[in-house]
A and B are shown apart, each in its own frame.
Chain A
Amino acid sequence: MQTRRAFLNRSAAGALGLTALQQLIAKGAIQPLHHAAKAKRVIFLYQAGGPSHLETFDSKPKLAEMHGKPMPESFTKGQQIAQLQGKPLICFGPQLGFKRFGKSGQEMCELFPQMGSIADDVCIVRSMWGEQINHDPAHTLMNTGSILTGRPSMGSWVLYGLGSDTEDLPGYVVLMSNGRGGQMQPIAQRQWSAGFLPSKYQGVKLNSVGDPVLYIQTPDGLGAGGQRESIEAIAKLNREAGKTLGDPEIETRIAQYEMAFRMQTSVPGLVDMSKEPASVLDAYGAVPGDGSFSSNCLLARRLAERGVRFIQLYHRDWDHHGGVKKNVELKAQEVDKPTAALINDLKQRGMLDDTLVVWGGEFGRTPMSQGGDGRDHHIKGFSYMLAGGGIKPGISHGATDELGYAAVEKPVSVHDFHATMLHLLGIDHLRMTVKYSGLDARLTGISGEVVKEILR
């Protein structure tokens, strides 16, 4: 039997020949994990732009008291600042009220009553911190654990480590929705790239406009029958050539054409949500085909059911340099209900136990005001919400200081978060390495510790 080490320590080049091994793993013939997994898959509800922790999960009465006063220099001296460079730093009190929810009494912004209703199912981490203060590098760090481009995204790492559980869909799927506030920061496709891993591990973006998967549409006029005949003929010809050439890549090519055809067949059914019961559509607030965060949450559940390993939903529009109150109100309308609906739905289907759901963005926002009604980018402290997949429900972890500036109690770095996620998936982050550019590269770089306290 192959050992898990042999599998997980392969170089990227060696991994190219691992198809057979992965098939064995998929059939359960080999245990690829470093330890027993709690989670089989991840749904990452990525709130892009940098949600204000101070108007979502991190209540700061002291900041309200200090509203309008200068931010004490003891907090900010020597720290990085983005657009507030050279401007006076003035405390800006929380713009929305907070409430305690559930038996656990978890505190959340009162504009998130649906998420509040599942407070006992989730864990709120209030002590996240990052290293990159601009969107693009911060996304890159959150996704790849590095600020250098060319590194694999976490979804690719997970797929590389665990293989896929579906034979007719990609194992790593990315969805994207836009908010109605218009604060849409760009998101590069490198955020779901496989980096130096083989590109079969890259995320595949499902689009709500145009073809759901790029080039999934059979050419007009050919029809599904014509496409099937063509693919069969291509397979026969490839097989015929393989006889004389003895090239193992040909077998892979044939298998990939078959997979492509299965994708062409299965994707339309996947994205067609018209057969979902009205009660389910209502719970999510989903209107099939509208490409909203609600629809994508429902689509995420459908992907999870079909064995997709890593599902990442970007919801753009959290970059509230101005009008943070009005804009968070708007975001609450967009994300509160579907987030809760997804977690409830997974729970009802018995899938929450082995699905890790993550809610958070690339950074938080300053306790200081920008332009009188907004908040600037902030990396020293922000909040994440986690649920399912072995996460301890109904707890809060860590804290920022009294003004919500820096994570001071049990700080959780991006690497710690990655280490914890991999741990839940049965992977030791220290041991999933790939030789690249002279290093044993890993998702967590050179640091990262599993946050044991939030594990079940």
Chain B
Amino acid sequence: MADTCFRCHGPDKSSRMANMRLDLREEAVKSNARGRAPIVPGNPGQSEIVRRIFAENPSLLMPPVSAHKTLIAAQKDTIRRWVAEGAVYEGHWAYEPLRRGATTASIDGFIAAKQHAAGLSMSAEADRATLIRRLALDLTGVPPAPMEVAAFVAGEPYENVVDRMIASKRYAEKQAMHWLDGVRYADTAGFHGDNPFPAWPYRDYVLRSIHENQPFDQFTREQLAGDLLPAATPAQKTASAYNRINRVSAEGGLQPKEYLAKYAADRVRTTATVWMGSTLGCAECHDHKFDPFTARDFYSFKAFFADIKETGLVPDRGPKAWGALLDLSSEQDRARRAPLAAAVEASKKAVEAKRAASKRNEKALLGAYENGSLAWTYQRPVAASATKATLKVYNDEPAPGNIGEAVTEPKPGEGLIVASGANPDNETYTITLEPGAGRWLQLGIQAMQDESLLGLRIARGSDRLMVSEIEAALLPEGRKLRFSTAASSIRFQAPEQHPMNAIDGNPQTGWGASTYGDAPVTSLALRFETPLATTAQSRIVVRIRHDSEFRKATIGRLRLALSKGLAMPVSEQRGAKIQTGLSAAVVAALKKSKSKRNDEDRQAIVAALDWTSLAMEESLTALKRAEAALGAVDAIAPRVMISESVKPEVTRILNRGNFMDDSGAIVEPAVPAFLGKVSGTRLDLANWLVSRDNPLTARAYVNRQWRLFFGAGLSRVLEDLGSQGEWPTHPELLDWLANEFVESGWDRKHITKLIVMSKTYRQASTGAASEKDPENRLLAKQNRWRVDAEVVRDIALSVSELLVERFGGPSVRPYQPEGFLAALNFPKRDYSASRGDDQYRRGLYTFWQRTFLHPSLMTFDAATREECTVNRSASNTPLQALVLLNDPTYVEAARVFAQNAYVSGGAPEARIDWAFQRAVGRTPTAGERAVLLDLYKSGLRRFDSDPAAARTFLDAGEAPRSSTPTAELAATMTVTRAILNLHETITRN
């Protein structure tokens, strides 16, 4: 009836028809004005609903044709019988108190009873090799190592394996994957610019909580209200990031009230889904149509979160970015930081003192600008080359202008250098200048935006420039030129990408440009240690090194300049001359009377006077060095968004969810009225969620856990235990497990162990389901399914022994197709794949870009986590085939897998057996071996006749290579690649 009747005759008064309500018995048996009642218990003939559902006349028939809901004959008969038997109403199962069940009860007992009633029985236990692979994939997400399989097959007790796996960190990683889907944890903001926000320490909190088997009730309290706990620890505050990792927007022009309403609604939906298995979110605009949640309940629930400090527009850059943050630096980090911070403060004081002591002459500065002695002289290079790329110099020839203008006119290049062709991760440009006779104080580099470049449009394949070192030498003397100080034109220079890094002799550090890049030109000025005298014969060789960890962070278009004065690095808007050595903003500020200057003007003038005064140089450089050192430490300090409690905002019921409507009643925090009477803070909400008064949390949790081990929940609709969900196949079992969860002190590992120790879990999964139970809901055998997206990756990396296991830490970036982020903006983005160990981490640690989740994960149904997800689908698509066949991650895994197979020794057949065993935990059948051997031989023929192709094929990925790339190895790689592509490899049987 919930499905067919309650839309019009249910809880929602706004859509109720004929003033008739059938979801409550006292309402349904009431007579109307004409003396008729919808239901007359014991008397179907007198009951209006029975008459109407059997009506011949279409105008009387219920449900009406227009509802597109049909009752089949058996359903009609059931309703008639139910009325005849007295129309007994029971509350909806999920809202009733937990039933304890007999002390002797067990999972197998409940399952066997139902099977018996249906004439079914349990299957035999799965074979040992299958069983341990199943267990390993379910509990740890990583397939068992060959030794583990061998030990188990040889008789290691099952319970030992279970205990070992549950105790492993891998178990926490596997469980966390699912929890993080529910709480929509990700690494980016999710709306609009979708910029990275500091969230990963929360992920690590979840990992540790699961690993340490923290009781679930405390886990609940810490996430919802960790900040409200007395003497909250950093870990508890970190947990409260739960309330902050919802999607947020930094789009200019958004209406704060609208977005605050969106954020709050997200929290209600997520909390209700994860903890209560409820669709309370449906009541945002109206009373729930099918469950007893009212709109008032929705807003009362929302009011629990009204104390969280937040803004509608959440800044995604600058000092206020992301609101309340917690610095999680370790004691050692802090100890390391303190003297650096002190040095910065001391240097600042020294600079101030110097400023006060030195003569500051604004007039002289303006004069120098006006008479041209501050100017930059563009250099026309006589040669330019790069390690791999092609550098083309445009001196007097017209350069293709391309800076996002509608129409671009080719103009003389004036020394423009354009990089094209090969685009390696690291690159060094060598440029030779012939400046003519002169005496120079500074070298300048100007990076030009180009619409054809990705990212900020200044780098060739990254969202930032990263110049790790600039070196120069004077020829023919062969004298190395040293620089004393450096400055960039960037207004908000990231401290860890300080210009000083480009002249510090350390290739690990660099000068970076990663602002929003509104200006088409970004400049760097370098001052020579001693003035440089050149003759007509002199040449200057400048080497620009891009050696940092950022890939392809190389300048796309640049000009070099020299200055005879102390020119500023200038970054102007389109069209303006930038050779002047002083920005238009500074000039304008200097020309204003002092009383008319604003803070920005004053700061600009101070900076210009500082840079153009040699007397200031020493103290300023000391300050810059101190800032760069501090910036490097600060950049790696872990931070996390946390909940911070302030005076609660007033919460009103929004009519139809309309944020602009302020007329609704004010509500206080409260749990849904039909479930209890609890008010107060987020902590009170958390306590109620894990109290005996609320039966939903334990049911929702164990139902989700059940799915992880059987492929479907006892009630399949994990996100909705309400009346539109599914009645559980085994309600007593669900309750018994839920009760066990509560009684055990909310012991998560206990529930897992109970499930995997059961006979039900250990059954074989082979064969088709019984005709009596085509969907195998009675579990007369185990189920099979393709593993989750992250595990698909983990299997390939583990089998090929590429997997690098490190528990927690900042998110990592697996290889990703170029240009995948091209539709992002503010700022434009490109991707720099992690290097070394971080390339081979578990899928769980992938940088979770909400609006552009990594395409391999996405293809295997990983949740984008824009919204709470508790039930991922498991699709089977051609794009999945393309990923396993062609994604460099999997090609590289096949290559390294082949190297290992090769090292394992023996004839091709032996290698095949070894690899097959390694991937799926069993030896191949004769038929399977023959297929792989054919593939091998045919590959061998091809690669023998084309050694270059073999070398290319074996060139996949960055992991260490075997020293002898041979046709045999390449042919072995076709075999390992086929094995990694098997359905069985990515299936849990």
Contacts and interface: CB of A to CB of B under 8 A. Distances in A.
B983 A253 contact: yes
A198 B939 CA distance: 36
A316 B817 CA distance: 21
A131 to B, nearest CB: 10
5 contacts: A133-B258, A218-B886, A238-B982, A257-B981, A438-B723
A136 B255 CA distance: 13
Interface of B: 68, 191-194, 247, 249, 251-255, 258, 262, 279, 281-282, 289-291, 404, 406, 451, 660, 716-717, 719-720, 722-725, 765-768, 784, 786, 817-820, 822-826, 828, 850-853, 855-856, 858-859, 861, 864, 866-867, 869, 873, 875-883, 885-887, 891, 925, 927-928, 931-932, 934-935, 938-939, 942, 948-956, 970, 974, 977-978, 981-984, 987, 989
B953 A260 contact: no
Contacts of A81: 255
B952 A221 contact: yes
A180 B766 CA distance: 58
A13 B872 CA distance: 11
Contact of B939 (A181, A200, A229): A229
A265 interface: no
B887 A215 contact: yes
A326 interface: yes
A82 interface: yes
Interface stretch (A182-190, A268-276, A418-426): A182-190
A196 B867 CA distance: 11
A150 interface: yes
A230 B885 contact: yes
B935 A259 contact: no
A277 interface: no
Interface stretch (A57-65, A244-252, A344-352, A354-362): A244-252
B251 A149 contact: no
B296 to A, nearest CB: 19
B881 A260 contact: yes
A100 B988 CA distance: 65
Nearest 7 Cβ contacts at the A-B interface? A221-B953, A221-B952, A188-B851, A83-B253, A260-B881, A438-B724, A82-B253
Contacts of B925: 240
A230 B975 CA distance: 8
Contacts of B858: 189
Nearest to A8: B68
Given A198-B873, A207-B819, 20 more contacts: A82-B255, A134-B191, A134-B249, A150-B867, A184-B825, A184-B828, A185-B825, A189-B823, A190-B866, A215-B882, A221-B951, A230-B935, A242-B983, A247-B987, A249-B784, A256-B877, A259-B881, A431-B68, A438-B291, A439-B724
Given A189-B852, A217-B886, A221-B952, A233 B931 contact: yes
Interface string A108-128: 000000000000000000000
The secondary structure that dominates the B interface is loop
A403 to B, nearest CB: 21
Interface in A274-303: none
B978 A238 contact: no
A241 interface: yes
Given A133-B255, A438-B279, A186 B851 contact: yes
A230 B867 contact: no
Contact of A134 (B253, B859, B931): B253
Contacts of A137: 191
Contacts of B722: 438
Contacts of B828: 184
A314 B823 CA distance: 10
A246 B766 contact: yes
A111 B878 CA distance: 43
Contact of A438 (B258, B282, B451, B825): B282
A186 B194 contact: yes
A326 B970 contact: no
Interface string A435-446: 101110000000
Nearest to B861: A199
A210 B942 CA distance: 27
Contacts of B823: 176, 186-189, 314, 316
Contacts of A185: 192, 825
B817 A222 contact: no
Interface of A: 5, 9, 12-13, 16, 78, 80-85, 133-137, 147-150, 170, 176, 180-182, 184-190, 193, 196, 198-200, 204, 207, 209-211, 213-223, 225-227, 229-231, 233-234, 236-238, 240-242, 244-247, 249-250, 252-253, 256-257, 259-261, 263-264, 314, 316, 326, 329-330, 376-377, 430-431, 435, 437-439
A253 B935 CA distance: 20
A322 B788 CA distance: 46
Contacts of B987: 247, 249
Contacts of B255: 80-82, 85, 133
Contacts of A316: 823
Interface centre among B258, B784, B873, B880, by most chain A C-beta atoms within 10 angstroms, is: B873
Nearest to B868: A150
Contacts of B850: 188
B949 A215 contact: no
Contacts, number: 260
B348 to A, nearest CB: 37
Nearest to B950: A221
A135 B251 contact: yes
A366 to B, nearest CB: 11
B766 A244 contact: yes
B249 A237 contact: no
A249 B191 contact: no
Contacts of A150: 866-867, 869
Contacts of B875: 16, 198-200
Nearest to B70: A5
Interface centre among A137, A186, A253, by most chain B C-beta atoms within 10 angstroms, is: A186
A214 B820 contact: yes
B934 A238 contact: no
Contacts of A181: 404, 406
B877 A234 contact: no
A235 to B, nearest CB: 9
Contacts of A438: 279, 282, 290-291, 717, 719-720, 722-725
A143 to B, nearest CB: 13
Contact of B876 (A184, A221, A253): A253
A81 B254 CA distance: 8
A442 B764 CA distance: 39
B953 A220 contact: yes
Contacts of A264: 882
A214 B194 contact: no
Given A226-B942, A233-B934, A240 B927 contact: yes
A11 to B, nearest CB: 9
A249 B877 CA distance: 11
Nearest to A376: B253
Contact of B891 (A9, A219, A252, A260): A219
Contacts of B942: 223, 225-226
Contacts of A9: 68
Given A214-B855, A245-B784, A236 B931 contact: yes
Interface centre among A210, A234, A250, by most chain B C-beta atoms within 10 angstroms, is: A234
A256 to B, nearest CB: 5
Contacts of B891: 219
A241 B825 contact: no
Given A245-B766, A437-B282, A438-B722, A213 B882 contact: yes
A229 B725 CA distance: 46
A98 B928 CA distance: 71
B423 to A, nearest CB: 12
A185 to B, nearest CB: 6
A431 B858 CA distance: 29
A237 B978 contact: yes
Contacts of A326: 406
Given A215-B885, A220-B953, A182 B253 contact: no
A431 B67 CA distance: 9
